[in-house]
Amino acid sequence: MHRSVLLVVAHGSRDPRHAATVHALTRRVSSLRPGLRVETAFLDFNAPAVPQVLGRLAAEGVRDVVALPLLLTRAFHAKADIPAVLRQAPPQLRIRRAEVLGPSPLLLASVQRRLYEAGLTPADMSSTGLVLAAAGSTDPEAIAVIAQTARELRHTGWCAVRPAFASASLPRTEDAVRALRADGCARVAVAPYVIAPGRLPDRIAAGAGDADVVADVLGDSPELARLLLRRYDEAAAQRLLAATA
């Protein structure tokens, strides 16, 4: 049994649905592995903040922590914000940073699950165009990962798949919906490629107004919970790294 504490680091939001969804996900992770201690912290807007949780763990005598960014791509938060806040950790804590969640086949499975829950069936896929709607980023690496994820989904049997973004990047969700109509797809579905509700997921939903099916956010899906544990196990198996590495 791993003795490291899993610290899930979420972005945070003024929207109360965001924190509620994050906590539902971490509860599912705990239920899948009862012997693992799972803590949740936020970069902004919500409590507890990351330094607060790290300080409490150190005061309790915890020495080994795996910090897991609750992020789908390696963009600014993964490359700058989280490393910066982990550098504030008490020196007695040994911290290993897990990789971000994407890309992963488990994320594709989570997207498919939400689409089926929204009413689509496997038989619908060949005549349905899919918009994979992400939050958006100015980071080229993150945009490339979303584009690759859309290509991988295309190979699972959809009529066509187009990426879209709620901010920072183009195209917008509504533009991708129109493009799939023009491609001749009989119906169009929108899959929000985001973990929790908030301002940008609401923008995705608003842009999906002409779509036939709009799925829910990934939320506390079983596949996402399993992915968190996979990233934890990968990090726990590595040699200890300083928070500044």
Residues 11 and 94 in one domain: yes
- Whether residue 153 contacts residue 213, with contact meaning beta carbons closer than 8 Å, is answered with no
| Confidence at residue 238, expressed as pLDDT on a 0 to 100 scale | 83
Residue 15 Cα distances to 49, 64, 196, 202, angstroms? 16, 32, 10, 10
Residues 10 and 87 in one domain: yes
The angle that helices 105-117 and 222-236 make with each other, rounded to 10 degrees, is 170
Task: Please report whether residue 94 resides in a domain.
Answer: yes
Residues 79 and 11 in one domain: yes
Query: First-to-last CA distance in the chain?
Result: 26
For residues 115 and 202, give the distance between their C-alpha atoms in angstroms, rounded to a whole number: 17
User: Which residue in the block uniquely carries the two structure tokens 């491609």?
Assistant: 183
For residues 240 and 245, give the distance between their C-alpha atoms in angstroms, rounded to a whole number: 10
Question: Widest CA span of the chain, in angstroms?
Answer: 61
| Confidence at residue 239, expressed as pLDDT on a 0 to 100 scale | 57
Q: What is the CATH number of the domain that holds 138?
A: 3.40.50.1400
Residues in the chain with pLDDT values less than 70: 1-2, 239-245
Residues 154 and 209 in one domain: yes
Q: 0.85 cut: is pTM over it?
A: yes
Task: Please report whether residue 26 resides in a domain.
Answer: yes
Residues 93 and 109 in one domain: no
Share of the chain above pLDDT 90, in %: 93
Provide the domain limits for residue 71. 5-102+221-236
Q: What is the pLDDT of residues 197-236, one digit of tens each?
A: 999 999 999 999 999 999 999 999 999 999 999 999 999 9
Residues 50 and 126 in one domain: no
Give the bridge partners for 164, in sequence order.
Answer: 133
